[in-house]
Amino acid sequence: MANADCIVLQGGNMAEAHPVGFQWVSEAKARGARVIHVDPRFTRTGAIADRHIAIRAGSDVVLLGALINHVLSNDLWFKEYVLAYTNAATLVSEDFRDTEELGGLFSGFDPATGQYDLQSWAYAEAGGDGGVGSPSGQAGEHGSSKSDRAAGDEHGSGGPSLEHAEVLRDETLQDPRTVFQVLKRHYARYTPQMVQELCGISEDDFTYLADSITQNSGRDRTTVFGYATGWTQHTLGAQFIRSAAILQLLLGNVGRPGSGIMALRGHASIQGSTDIPTLFNLLPGYLPMPKVGVHDSFEDYLEGIASKRQKGYWTHADAYTISLLKAWWGEHATADNDWCFDYLPRLSGPHGTYQTTVGMLADEVEGYFVLGQNPAVGSANGRQQRLAMSHLKWLVVRDLSLIESATWWKEGPEIDSGELRTEDIDTEVFFMPAATHVEKAGSFTQTQRLLQWRHKALAPPGEAQSELDFFFKLGQRIRAKLADSTDERDRPLLELTWDYPVDGHGDPDPEAVLAEINGRFVSGPDAGKPLSFYGQMATDGSTAGGCWIYTGVYADGVNQAARRVPGGGPSPSQHEWGWAWPADRRILYNRASADPDGKPWSERKKYIWWDEDQGKWVGDDVPDFPEDRAPGARPDPNIGGPEALAGDDPFIMQADGKGWLYAPKGLVDGPLPTHYEPWESPVANSLYPQQQSPTRVVFAREDNLGAPSAGTRGDEVYPYVFTTYRLTEHHTAGGMSRWLPYLSELQPEMFCEISPALAAERGLENNGWATIISPRAAIEAKVLVTDRVKTLTINGRAVHQVGLPYHWGVGTHAVVSGDAANDLVGVALDPNTQIQESKAGSCDIVAGRRPRGQALLDLVADYQRRAGATVDTDNVPRVTDPEAETVTPRPDGEVSGEDGFSRW
């Protein structure tokens, strides 16, 4: 980011939520970069930005789509880059129909499941009709199946699979079926006027933003985007990010210094927790968790990741998977038993946080480990979370202090409201004290994929343990209990490699875990030696490695993540500080930093280039490309794998080697980002008859009612938009900040931020109290009346926004406490990722404190009644206006969710 000429921070509040990383923005600014902050509120990021542009929460695709349209219709795209490095010239199947043709839906919508049949979105097949399909093992996996396993998350280190990489291209871009023309048509109605109408952004601000981005892109200059949960936490969050990706590819801002789209991570190692996942749907290195019916055999599983006939490094997924299974089950994993593939559990449906919560309420879940999170405060629809936990038999909370998730049974809001009585709760709650980050060694992986080793500064107090120690000992105890078992289901546990060396206190050595993750040769001449590159991983069981993308972090038996040369050494890529996956490449897809002939695009943005004399790629970074593949190389795409990559295929993890403007696969809600309103919104979608994302995942339940959206009865009852966010002074649900006096005093009380206009409309006073009501809950907060929140004019009428930090929770153990903003949030999810929509919802706000006890429940119920909110609200029908939208077959017979979980 420090090398960027223009930085757009949208969907994130970098200065406040990522202040340490913000040093690079400060550095870029000191060098003259322009910084623009697009956010519903004027934040601390806005304070030092060159311009803050206020936007209505949830309308970002309109703005980004209009920027795409601006770039295309004014011929501002980076032609050489786009032609050579993206799929702009690739032809899309004749079966594909765009939202422009079908009134807001893409072809293939299946009203029965509320998801798409994805086949018509494919690239055109060379031989005539149809599209380039999926590898045989996965032929046409339906969107509903992909959504259930949040398959979108698999693309954390590379693109979706294609049957083969032989695609049709029209280099003139004139064919109406080229991606380029499809893109043009799709965004034609995303205009500055539409931005003004739906986002509340003036044409002057739009022009400023558009000019800043386009004037700071091209051969000599680069623009970078930074986003965080302001983009991800929407029912179409993945598409927010996709629209930025399209824009950046069109402007040539990927793979170059100061370019890209930075996913600003909210915790020290959230990147690490997806690389080596704590998610239900992933295995290490973005290998999918197998699913019943899709990945029944090992062959099905491997083909589902990548076809051997596609391009790039995903074709070696078999080596990565087998090495992982060897790392886990050692000598027990053999070719004869498919390397213990059947020891892996199988997904049978969506097992994300919110489905699990609903499962608890249905008494289908007995026990719950809560680590590094505080769901009673930090998860959407907090009341649902707390009531769900009251159905558990046992609950383990591992944290630094007695967070609200460990105390809801005696002092949660439901005790006060009378919904729960402590003596009636059968849940046995165990609290396990946890070591802090300075009391344990390990690595953090940050947003740049950089692993930084952390040494232990002091021993944890009392019985506090590190996660590593806790799980190591837990595993030992479970294995001891099962030692005599002959039950087949216990084999995976008993045969697991679980033999880490321990120190004098009996604690496992974190470096031994790092070495296991890195991988080693298990047989052959180098047996026992660490691997140094994932390309060494083999399919014959001669290598083991816990996470293929991390291979090299322990190369030569040295902890590369612990490198700490000040400033990272003399190289511009700062190579001597930490270690970046994959293979210590600091900028991904950096082949794109040179032109198709291998020369730097400009002296100013020189990074990696082809050295004719040496016959290899050289420069400031490790080339993210086959080192000796000449720019002019054009191997037969049908040979498959890295060998099939042409010299101008920089995107080596994509099945066709190109950056995807149009995504024929990989997303379940559309190959191109399309604006839909949030699940509940007081604003009507003026782009399409379809109001909300048709594929949104909803939970039609009495404890998760939605506010009537614009144009439906009762839409005046919850007239305002609320959005939630973090403050610098606190950490997420407060477990690491509200117990600390020095942080608590800086932001001591829960507050809401509103504009003077809304304050006048509702009689609210600065530093007075307000009650905020959604269909899920009512909470109270102090009021900050400020010009930092603007009332926006949307579709010709004033739309007020209410800003809510979500750090506080109800309890007596913290230094400061207060009502939790997340209690207001409804559970509606992005079908690609199963992430909840926390960043836009509907509410009312009135002056004064909230009622206590039963009166609080009455207030919420009264609002629900006035709005006529039922389990069908915002959920049925799925398609807003079947008359205006073309769906085949007709969406007759839509049914509402019965009791319990509905997969819509």
Partner 1 sequence: MGQLSGPTDPTADAHWHTHEERKGFFTDTSICIGCKACEVACKEWNHNPRDGDLDLTGMSYDNTVSLGASTWRHVAFVEQDRARIEEARESGRVLVSLGMPQVRSERDVTTSVTDLSGGDLSGVDTTPPDTPEFRWLMASDVCKHCTHAGCLDVCPTGALFRTEFGTVVVQDDVCNGCGTCVAGCPFGVVERRSDGTAAPTTREGQKKGEQPPIPNKGVAQKCTLCYDRLVDGQTPACAKTCPTTSIKFGDHEDLVTEAKARVAQLHAQGMTEARLYGANELDGVGGTGSVFLLLDEPEVYGLPPDPRVCTADLMTMYKRAAMAAAGMVAAAAVAFLGRGGRGA
Using CB under 8 A, list all residues that contact partner 1. 15-16, 19-20, 22-23, 26, 29-30, 42, 44-48, 50-52, 416, 727-729, 741-749, 751, 766-767, 782, 784, 786-788, 810, 812, 814-818
Q: Residue 11 and residue 202: Cα distance in Å, rounded?
A: 19
Minimum CB separation of residue 53 from partner 1 in Å reads: 11
Asked if 725 and 805 count as a contact pair (C-beta separation under 8 A), the reply is yes
Q: Which residues contact 691 (CB under 8 A, 6 or more apart)?
A: 676, 677, 681, 684, 685, 709, 710, 711, 880
Minimum CB separation of residue 442 from partner 1 in Å reads: 23
Would you tell me how many other CB atoms lie within 10 Å of the CB of residue 741? 10
Asked if 271 and 705 count as a contact pair (C-beta separation under 8 A), the reply is no
Minimum CB separation of residue 750 from partner 1 in Å reads: 9
Nearer to partner 1, 612 or 749 (CB): 749
Nearer to partner 1, 50 or 299 (CB): 50
Nearer to partner 1, 330 or 768 (CB): 768
Minimum CB separation of residue 17 from partner 1 in Å reads: 10
Minimum CB separation of residue 45 from partner 1 in Å reads: 8
Distance of CA 285 to the CA centre of its chain: 15
Q: Which two tokens stand for residue 373?
A: 């999170």
Nearer to partner 1, 31 or 599 (CB): 31
Q: Which two tokens stand for residue 430?
A: 């165990």
Minimum CB separation of residue 322 from partner 1 in Å reads: 43
Q: Residue 388 and residue 292: Cα distance in Å, rounded?
A: 27
Minimum CB separation of residue 590 from partner 1 in Å reads: 27
Nearer to partner 1, 637 or 818 (CB): 818
**Pairing relationship of beta strands 51-54 and 34-39 according to DSSP bridges:** parallel
Query: Residue with structure tokens 């990989």?
Result: 666
Q: Residue 499 and residue 519: Cα distance in Å, rounded?
A: 15
Q: Give the CB-side neighbour count of residue 337, counting CA atoms within 13 A.
A: 16
Supply the DSSP symbol for 706.
P
Kindly tell me the sign of the dihedral angle through the C-alpha atoms of 315, 317, 320, 325.
negative
Taking CA atoms, 328 is separated from 5, 15, 304, 310, 512, in Å, by 45, 41, 22, 28, 14
Nearer to partner 1, 46 or 714 (CB): 46
Minimum CB separation of residue 361 from partner 1 in Å reads: 26
Q: 123 pairs with which residues across the strands?
A: 92
Residue length, the chain? 904
In sequence order, what E strands does 129-216 have? none
Q: Residue 122 and residue 671: Cα distance in Å, rounded?
A: 9
Nearer to partner 1, 26 or 571 (CB): 26
Minimum CB separation of residue 5 from partner 1 in Å reads: 16
Q: Residue 746 and residue 765: Cα distance in Å, rounded?
A: 21
Nearer to partner 1, 30 or 480 (CB): 30
Nearer to partner 1, 204 or 716 (CB): 204
Q: Which residues contact 760 (CB under 8 A, 6 or more apart)?
A: none
Query: Residue with structure tokens 């027990």?
Result: 332
Q: Which two tokens stand for residue 661?
A: 């403007």
Minimum CB separation of residue 204 from partner 1 in Å reads: 9
Nearer to partner 1, 815 or 846 (CB): 815
Asked if 57 and 30 count as a contact pair (C-beta separation under 8 A), the reply is no
Minimum CB separation of residue 81 from partner 1 in Å reads: 31
Q: Residue 661 and residue 249: Cα distance in Å, rounded?
A: 7
CA dihedral 130, 133, 138, 141 (to 10 degrees): -60
Minimum CB separation of residue 445 from partner 1 in Å reads: 20
Minimum CB separation of residue 887 from partner 1 in Å reads: 45
Nearer to partner 1, 22 or 610 (CB): 22
Nearer to partner 1, 388 or 789 (CB): 789
Q: Which two tokens stand for residue 449?
A: 């994929």
Nearer to partner 1, 418 or 557 (CB): 418
Minimum CB separation of residue 482 from partner 1 in Å reads: 44
Nearer to partner 1, 202 or 542 (CB): 202
Q: Residue 480 and residue 302: Cα distance in Å, rounded?
A: 34
Residue 752, helix vs strand vs coil: strand
Q: Residue 458 and residue 285: Cα distance in Å, rounded?
A: 31
Minimum CB separation of residue 847 from partner 1 in Å reads: 15
Can you say whether residue 553 is alpha, beta or left, with left for phi > 0 and alpha for psi between -120 and 50 degrees? Answer: alpha
Q: Residue 100 and residue 860: Cα distance in Å, rounded?
A: 40
Minimum CB separation of residue 513 from partner 1 in Å reads: 30
Preceding omega of 889 cis (within 30 degrees of 0): yes
Asked if 354 and 369 count as a contact pair (C-beta separation under 8 A), the reply is no
Nearer to partner 1, 204 or 702 (CB): 204
Would you tell me how many other CB atoms lie within 10 Å of the CB of residue 173? 16
Nearer to partner 1, 342 or 411 (CB): 411
**Pairing relationship of beta strands 450-454 and 769-773 according to DSSP bridges:** unpaired
